[in-house]
Amino acid sequence: MAETLTPAEKPKKKPSRWGLFAPILIFLVLLAGWTGYWFYVASQLENRIALTRQNLIDAGYHVGYSPLHVQGYPFRMFIALDKFEAIAPTGKGFAAPRLEAEASAFVLDKWVFVATEGLTYYRGRRETPDLGAIDLGEVKITGDALRASVSGWTQPIQTIAVEGLNPVFTVSKAEYPFLLQSAQRFEAYLRPNTAAVDNADFLWRVTGAKGHPESLIGRMGPNKTFDLHLEGTVGQAAKFKDGRLSAWRDGGGVMTGVKTSLHIGDLEIFGQSDAMRVDPNLALQGPLEVEIKGSGDPVTFLLGAGLIAPEYEPLARPFIGTTMTADKPVKLKFDFRDGGTYVGPLKVSDAPVVR
Residue 243: pLDDT band (50, 70, 90) is low
Distance CA 80, CA 73 (A): 14
86-103 pLDDT per residue, tens: 999 889 999 999 999 999
Residue 25: pLDDT band (50, 70, 90) is confident
Higher pLDDT, 78 or 133: 78
Distance CA 70, CA 84 (A): 16
Closest CA to 36 of 109, 108, 110, 105: 105
Three-class DSSP category at 345? coil
- The answer to whether the beta carbons of residues 90 and 124 sit under 8 Å apart is yes
**pLDDT for 300 beyond 80:** no
Helices and strands, counts by H and E, the chain: 5, 21
Residue 324: pLDDT band (50, 70, 90) is low
- The answer to whether the beta carbons of residues 143 and 135 sit under 8 Å apart is no
What does residue 3 show for φ and ψ, rounded to 5 degrees? -80, 140
What average pLDDT score do residues 54-59 get? Answer: 95
- The answer to whether the beta carbons of residues 276 and 254 sit under 8 Å apart is yes
Task: Note the pLDDT of residue 353.
Answer: 87
Closest CA to 233 of 193, 180, 184, 277: 193
Beta partners for 104? 76, 107
Higher pLDDT, 47 or 310: 47
Task: Note the pLDDT of residue 24.
Answer: 84
Task: Note the pLDDT of residue 85.
Answer: 97
**How much is the CA Rg of the chain, to the nearest whole Å?**
30
| Share in percent of the chain as helix, strand, coil (round to 5) | 20, 45, 35
**pLDDT for 8 beyond 60:** no
DSSP 8: P
110-152 pLDDT per residue, tens: 999 999 999 999 999 877 767 778 899 999 999 999 999 999 9
**pLDDT for 11 beyond 90:** no
pTM of the model: 0.85
Residue 3: pLDDT band (50, 70, 90) is low
Residue 13: pLDDT band (50, 70, 90) is low
Higher pLDDT, 281 or 189: 189
Task: Note the pLDDT of residue 275.
Answer: 96
Residue 239: pLDDT band (50, 70, 90) is confident
248-257 pLDDT per residue, tens: 888 889 999 9
Task: Note the pLDDT of residue 277.
Answer: 94
Q: Where along the chain do its domains lie?
A: 26-136
Beta partners for 313? none
